[in-house]
Amino acid sequence: MLKFALKLALLAAAAAPMSGLAGAAEASESERRFFQSVEGSWSGPGEIVAGKYKGTKFVCNFDGGTPEKNIGMALDGTCRVGVFTQPMKASVVREKGGYRGTFLDGAAGKGLDVTGGKVIGNDVVFALHRSSLSGAMRARISDKNTMHITISVQVNDDMVPVIGMKLKRTDSGGIEAIARQ
């Protein structure tokens, strides 16, 4: 369960949007700007806030990028609890029917599927699915160097937060930093 919770934490950090309701051109540009703001290196603490492993603290580090021809992002990095480190990898792209993606090897393996999502301003919410588990990940960019992530799971009719993270940018600043390299 702890490994699964850590995987959810990185998914939250890595995979962020759902399809917009605005016109295709407007939504695409808004979504593209959101994902570009997530590009670069991020690091920060997280905590499992509910369930069997409540109170477990961890730290994640990852590098985010955006695909050249699609709207979305890819994330590659690790999360660490004590001396244990877990590789993390996620990718999400907007397709004709909405956002789709995988965390690790997807729900068919040991990961999760991203089955939908939506970007609104500086927030993104993704629908998560694995077997009988349904949930959501919300990522909010509060300023150009801070991202807050919450992962919730559905319990009966309620969405219960289970993981919270606060990430800080560790490079000099997204697109501008990448362009200079």
Cα 162 from chain centroid (whole Å): 14
> Could you tell me if 144 and 131 are in contact, meaning their C-beta atoms sit under 8 angstroms apart?
no
Report pTM: 0.79
Q: How far apart are CA 119 and CA 104, in angstroms?
A: 22
Q: Using alpha carbons, select from 12, 6, 139 the residue that is nearest to residue 80.
A: 6
Note down pLDDT in tens along the chain; length 181 residues. Answer: 444 444 444 444 444 333 334 445 556 788 999 999 989 999 999 999 998 999 999 999 989 899 888 899 888 899 999 999 999 888 899 998 899 999 888 899 988 899 999 999 899 999 999 998 899 989 999 998 999 999 999 999 899 999 999 999 998 654 444 443 3
Q: Which residues contact 48 (CB under 8 A, 6 or more apart)?
A: 2, 5, 54, 55, 56, 58, 162, 163
Q: How far apart are CA 164 and CA 150, in angstroms?
A: 5
Kindly report the number of other CB atoms within 10 A of residue 26's CB atom. 11
> Token pair for residue 134?
């349904």
